[in-house]
Structure 1
Amino acid sequence: MDARTGADLAGMANAVLQPGFVGKEPPRWLRRRLAEGLGGVALYARNVVDRDQVAELTAALRAEKPDVIVAIDEEAGDVTRIDAHTGSPWPGNLALGAIDDSALTREVAGHIGRDLAAAGITFDYAPDADVNNDPGNPVIGSRAFGAEPERVARHTAAWIAGLQEAGVAACAKHFPGHGNTNVDSHLDVPLIQAGRAELDAIELVPFRAAIAAGVQAVMSAHLRVPSLDPELPATLSRRIMTDLLRGELGFDGLIVTDAIEMRAVAGRYGLANATVLALAAGADAICVGGEHADEETAAALRDAICAAVVAGDLAEERLADAAARVARLAAWSAAAPKTAPDPRATAVGLSAARRALRISAPDALFPLGVPAYVLEFQPELNLAIAPETPWGLLAPLAELVPATTGARLSSPDGLPAALEASQGRPLVLVVRDPHRYAWMTQALQAALAVRPEAVVVEMGVPAAPLGDVHIATFGATAASGRAVAELLAGR
């Protein structure tokens, strides 16, 4: 292999990587790698202060490589990066699915796209096209539009249309479907036991709709589906990535992996080997850097890709095809017309959050009349949610009714003291997915035994309501919290 061929090979290997980094501006190693042909960069909450800072950051990236793909995981629900420090001003997918107005979903996604485009972001790892048909799912939940395939398909297509009309490439995830599992692929390998007929009737329905809607990208899932491939997880399976997604479903856009360092693949196959196997299976871009956000990782993956081609483990034609698809997405992003953000966007988000509320009690119960005591139950958040993202009802209700007080519990230990502190005031109990946490269900039942008139606010996936007065928000975004706070405050 001569020097020119080696340089070309390294350039293609760089092109298929989408690493993350630490800091609010590009580090020197990233600038250098961009000049060497790095195809994309993934932004995380750690890279975000506000929109002006992100715009400066993306401009600095483009100063090194004008057509670099700048990606972010902005579902604009409970999973948000651009609003990780304040909470999303949008109600999220499950709430949009509950409203079931495709035109609204398209409008919301259009506003999100305008916002991202103005900040210089060209590629969004969204929407979530999973059918959340396992209520115990620890990683999808309110990120999905719902549990019915056709509903999810309608809103997936609408979200894609709205986002891409704003000039930002959409990415349907997590193929071939991550909804029917109770394992988080950040931590282990989920198993989808559905047969092919069931997959066609449920999991694949939204992805067919996404492809028909012209989605620019599809993200692979790190899970096993034995009916499709008895050995390899989807990200590493040619049967799933190439034969099914490319061949049967006819998808011709970019295939990007979910974060390749997730334990479901890297834990068993190793980071570098998983990267090579993913490319060989049909992936075109490798997302990395949620945890391994450094030059050493980016260099090691580039070198592993080059070595695999030299060894014959990865066909050079396959790598060239992947790099070409990355370039094609970059060209689409550069050419797509952009529209300035609409100043009405925040009002649209809040209005949507209000429409999503489902209340089991008559409206006459509200407002509460006097300042409430808000008791929030803190679950373990899945790893897709930035840990700094605020949620809940205490803060927004206290903003509207300043004498509001309360507490947040992550176990039942503080419940007696909290109930004592709430005496003489309306009590609001705020939960997220209590059906998934025995301690939370028990604590909620214990609280209602003492205070049966308490208002229960469910900010996760609604299951069987507990309590006579139950409000479901279908998500824990800032918009959802504000909508409930307004209701309770009589605003």
Structure 2
Amino acid sequence: MSDDLYGLAMTVLHPGFEGTSTPDWLRRALGEGLGGVVLFARNAIDERLVRQFRAENPDVVVAIDEEGGTVTRLEVTDGSSFPGNRALGVVDDVELTEQVGRQIGRMLADLDITLNYAPSADVNANPANPVIGVRSFGPTPELVSRHTVAYIDGVQGAGVAACAKHFPGHGDTVTDSHLALPTVHASREVLFERDLPPFRAAIEAGVRVVMSGHLLVPALDPAVPATLSRTVMTEILRDELGFDGMLTTDAIEMRAVAALAAPGEIVVRALNAGVDAICAGLCDEDGLREMRDAIVAAVRAGTLPEERLAEAAARVRAVSAWYAAQEPLRRQAHDDVDEDAGLRAARRALTTSGTAALGRGPLVVEINTRFSKAVDPATPTGITAALTALLPDTARVQMEAEGELPPFDDRPVVLVVHDAARHPWVRETVAKALALRPDVIVVDTGVPAPPDGATHVATHGISRVSAQAAAEWLLT
């Protein structure tokens, strides 16, 4: 038995943390060989912070969710400079998707971030999906596959590792795995024809990392979520699809798995299933030590083979080594600045009906559809800000979910909604507004449901550039 079981255990643990500087417990853990750190918007990410990590452990895998669009950690205050996957899928130009991926990769490379937990390779087969939606490139495996590959090529072409998620596919669910355990009811045949092709394409394209989805998929394993299933993680992903890179969990504090057992047990079960890295987005020193000690105890008790733990640690180190070898690509990407890539994509992604030529500031009514837990709560739709930049007399009213419309005066009215296709009450609110004011303009930042006869703008996602593109159209 290895004398360094604690070191192996620390290598496979990748926690997040609170605060805007490296806490003492995290510094100590990095010095002890902690394999990864996960960054969130709450950390106020900059080069200084990442340098603090690397001063303690130069080989640490620094990871982040920077999908573009709805999910951004670096640009949460003003919104992303890049539209999300759905918008890119609507445009369906793989060269443009690769350009966007490269610019996101360049942004991460400049911060010395190793790994982007993106793209979402999920096929959004269910329009009622509450957590994927516009994070997916679209509803068909062919579309999602080609854009998944293009995005990976862009990010990894900038010298940053990409991650295809959420295996074996989170697109056909009606439950948010942050809140409860979703079930995918499709047959094995449907899963292999619809959900798995984007992951197969990602693997063939050389993606460095795959993230597991906290999903119950009875056709593959009726007993446990995919993250904890050796059938799904090893027999299918490794043996059938041929993936030999690092396999990471989605965050283990998500209720889909957190409700099943204590963190230490979840970690050991995931490692036994074939996972290599444990993402623990909400963590502190006690939680980290608890997980480390559970891994070591399981190896000593014979319930987790030491060879499996060593294999997992080696795959984490392989991602770090790959990243180190990409330094020439990162230097090249640093000089390959394309500041307009995101806005070009956002403009091309707009789908519109009717006409609009706002000549004065409108009343913007923001219907506050609650975003999924994957979206930072500070993320703005940006429509009001974009309109105000062009028309300073723009006014704004926020309407809470299923609330009452404000009174309208003679100003133009712009109704901002999100995922109207998924929310009957949103569609009912739009209908009420149109009954009062047939000239109401509807802007949908999610999966849209255009009302008959109304001027309608669909951005297919939330980002600063999507809002700017919509505002520009509304004034022309």
TM-score by length of 1: 0.94
Give the structure 2 partner of residue 437 of structure 1: 423
Between the two proteins, the alignment pairs up a number of residues equal to 473
**Are 2:435 and 1:488 aligned?**
no
Give the structure 2 partner of residue 17 of structure 1: 13
> Residue 412 of structure 1: CA displacement?
4.1
1:16 partner amino acid: V
Unmatched runs of 5 consecutive residues or more in structure 1: none
Take 1:297 and 1:466, find their aligned partners in 2: how far apart are those partners? Answer: 53
Alignment of 1:149-168 (within 5 A): 149-168=141-160
Give the structure 2 partner of residue 470 of structure 1: 456
Give the structure 1 partner of residue 255 of structure 2: 263
Take 1:87 and 1:326, find their aligned partners in 2: how far apart are those partners? Answer: 31
Give the structure 1 partner of residue 42 of structure 2: 46
* 434 and 82 in structure 1: CA distance in 2 versus 1, 3 angstrom threshold: same
Take 1:465 and 1:81, find their aligned partners in 2: how far apart are those partners? Answer: 33
Take 1:260 and 1:412, find their aligned partners in 2: how far apart are those partners? Answer: 32
Percent identity between the two aligned chains: 53
Give the structure 2 partner of residue 394 of structure 1: 384
Matched residue SS, 1:255? strand
2:131 partner amino acid: V
> Residue 345 of structure 1: CA displacement?
3.2
**Are 2:115 and 1:129 aligned?**
no
Question: Contact between 1:434 and 1:440, CA under 8 Å: does it hold in 2?
Answer: yes
Question: Contact between 2:422 and 2:447, CA under 8 Å: does it hold in 1?
Answer: no
Take 2:453 and 2:212, find their aligned partners in 1: how far apart are those partners? Answer: 40
**Are 2:333 and 1:333 aligned?**
no
Q: 2:49 aligns with which of 57, 76, 83?
A: 57
Q: 1:455 aligns with which of 441, 447, 452?
A: 441
> Residue 464 of structure 1: CA displacement?
4.7
Matched residue SS, 1:269? coil
Write out per-residue CA displacement over residues 54-109 of structure 1, whole angstroms, 9 at most, x where no aligned residue.
11111111111111110001101101111112210101100000000000000100
Take 1:140 and 1:46, find their aligned partners in 2: how far apart are those partners? Answer: 22
**Are 2:171 and 1:185 aligned?**
no
* 426 and 468 in structure 1: CA distance in 2 versus 1, 3 angstrom threshold: same
Give the structure 2 partner of residue 297 of structure 1: 287
Deviates more, 1:237-246 or 1:333-342: 333-342
> Residue 468 of structure 1: CA displacement?
1.9
**Are 2:360 and 1:360 aligned?**
no
> Residue 314 of structure 1: CA displacement?
0.6
Question: Contact between 2:450 and 2:456, CA under 8 Å: does it hold in 1?
Answer: no
Deviates more, 1:333-342 or 1:227-236: 333-342
Q: 2:339 aligns with which of 323, 338, 346?
A: 346
> Residue 478 of structure 1: CA displacement?
1.1
Alignment of 1:13-162 (within 5 A): 13-48=9-44, 54-162=46-154
Deviates more, 1:334-343 or 1:227-236: 334-343
Take 2:394 and 2:337, find their aligned partners in 1: how far apart are those partners? Answer: 29
Matched residue SS, 2:256? helix
1:433 partner amino acid: D
Write out per-residue CA displacement over residues 373-403 of structure 1, whole angstroms, 9 at most, x where no aligned residue.
1111111111000011111411110111101
Take 1:298 and 1:234, find their aligned partners in 2: how far apart are those partners? Answer: 23
Q: Which runs of 4+ in 1 moved over 4 A?
A: none
Unmatched runs of 5 consecutive residues or more in structure 2: none
**Are 2:320 and 1:324 aligned?**
no
Take 1:227 and 1:245, find their aligned partners in 2: how far apart are those partners? Answer: 15
Take 1:162 and 1:344, find their aligned partners in 2: how far apart are those partners? Answer: 13
Question: Contact between 1:401 and 1:489, CA under 8 Å: does it hold in 2?
Answer: no
Question: Contact between 2:86 and 2:136, CA under 8 Å: does it hold in 1?
Answer: yes
Matched residue SS, 1:482? helix
Take 1:79 and 1:466, find their aligned partners in 2: how far apart are those partners? Answer: 30
Take 1:134 and 1:342, find their aligned partners in 2: how far apart are those partners? Answer: 41
> Residue 463 of structure 1: CA displacement?
3.1
Take 2:449 and 2:263, find their aligned partners in 1: how far apart are those partners? Answer: 38
Question: Contact between 2:78 and 2:382, CA under 8 Å: does it hold in 1?
Answer: no
TM-score by length of 2: 0.97
Take 1:413 and 1:182, find their aligned partners in 2: how far apart are those partners? Answer: 24
Take 1:61 and 1:221, find their aligned partners in 2: how far apart are those partners? Answer: 28
Write out per-residue CA displacement over residues 278-297 of structure 1, whole angstroms, 9 at most, x where no aligned residue.
000000000002xx321111
